[in-house]
Amino acid sequence: MSSVHKWDDNRVFKESCSLAKQYRVDLCAVGDFSYRRVQGVDVFGLPDLKKRYYRPVNWFRLFRHAINAQACVYHFHDPELIPLGLILKLFGRKVIYDVHEDYFDAILHKYWLPKPVRRTIAVVFNALEKMCSKFFDAIIFAEITYSDSFQGTNNLKTNILNYPLLTTHYEPVDKKNGQCINLIYCGGISAIRGAEQIIAAIALLVREGINVHLFLVGPFLPPAYEASIKQQITNHRLQKHVTVTGRISPSELYHYYRQADIGLALLHPVENYLKSQATKLFEYMATGIPIVASDFPRWQALLQDVGAGLTANPFEPEEIAAEIKRLINDPQLRLYMGRNGKRAYVERFNWNSEEIKLLSLYESLLREENRA
């Protein structure tokens, strides 16, 4: 269940498909339809309510469907659904809470909350989240570090990392000198995700006469931020060097990955990002392209271990541009790092191992149900 994520969300739908290999699965999430069956999953669409204060309407829809489903396990993905999870526990149901983020830090950077009250809201939410989570049967963490703040509870806990599906992807192209090098950033586009510094770095490369093109793929956060970025693109005269796609479907995403030569992940060092290893890093590895990423200690250690990319200070466009230029000027290094990343993805960082953990968790919960 999710009242926030779209039904084909990378993590939500991937988990649903894995579970559908052994169980009947109803997925209730945001979608522009009432019902469809996809890859063995019965998907029930919820209206995409643009205003947050309308979301309780979808909570009631989820509750109604949950009660009618008479399911063995209820698995929710949004902290705003914690009250629904507690109600289902009162009905004697098995409930799983899937923790996608460090919500304390995430709240501190929610653009739609007034800055003066963010910390107070974060502190109160953090206390309530930890207290309520004790009543759930299991908690899933999208990052290893998220479990640190959930100590002292007796429920099942497991880390199920958001690695990409193990599928066939495209090998990087060995481009000749002078050919256009395509860069890609995939994910939410916002100030703390380094959008402005990326644009400034591209402007520096273009001024040097380097033939580059950037694909900015994903939604703007907040939506009004799009105007600011497009103005920056215009100010730097980069209209021919930047493509802004907006939100696209997962199937469309690989159209851009097929064209990409270098993946960018220049997020700012807020606590939520410092604790996590962004899914986009592993998607870039899966696609076989080298990476230029923020110089966070965990990210540096990962990329050095794999040999899949370079790091830079995300606040310094000159440093970002220099690392991109290094890859552009050394085609063999690009191919070497891209192939290293792809090998690591195939051997270590793919969904197969996480699917096993997910199914094992469900088996444990259902064994308890049968014993009861």
Q: How far is CA 342 from CA 73, 166, 260, in A?
A: 35, 11, 14
Q: Which residues pair with 141 in a beta bridge?
A: 99, 159
Whether the per-residue pLDDT at 62 is higher than 90: the answer is yes
Helix (H) or strand (E) holding 17: helix 10-19
- Cα(137)–Cα(139) distance, integer angstroms: 7
Q: Which two tokens stand for residue 107?
A: 């709240």
Q: What is the pLDDT of residues 195-243, one digit of tens each?
A: 999 999 999 999 999 999 999 999 998 889 999 999 999 999 999 999 9
* Closest C-alpha to 187, from 161, 213, 219: 219
- Cα(356)–Cα(40) distance, integer angstroms: 18
316 touches 197 (CB < 8 A) = yes
One-letter amino acid at 316 equals E
* Closest C-alpha to 80, from 95, 105, 65, 97: 97
Q: What single DSSP character describes residue 171? A: P
pLDDT reported for residue 368: 72
In order of start, what are the domains of the chain with their CATH numbers? 10-163+351-371 (3.40.50.2000), 181-347 (3.40.50.2000)
Q: What is the pLDDT of residues 271-311, one digit of tens each?
A: 889 988 889 999 999 999 999 999 999 999 999 999 999 99
- Cα(42)–Cα(340) distance, integer angstroms: 38
* Contacts by 274-279, CB closer than 8 A, 24 or more apart: 274/298, 275/102, 275/105, 275/143, 275/145, 275/146, 276/101, 276/102, 276/142, 276/143, 276/145, 277/143, 277/161, 277/302, 278/187, 279/10, 279/162, 279/163, 279/164, 279/187
Radius of gyration (Cα) for the chain, nearest Å?
21
Instruction: Tell me the whole-structure pTM to 2 decimals.
Output: 0.88
One-letter amino acid at 137 equals D
Higher pLDDT, residue 253 or 14? 14
310 touches 265 (CB < 8 A) = no
290 touches 310 (CB < 8 A) = yes
Determine the distance from the C-alpha atom of residue 130 to the mean position of all C-alpha atoms in its chain, rounded to a whole number.
Answer: 23
Q: What is the pLDDT of residues 75-98, one digit of tens each?
A: 999 999 999 999 999 999 999 999
Whether the per-residue pLDDT at 128 is higher than 70: the answer is yes
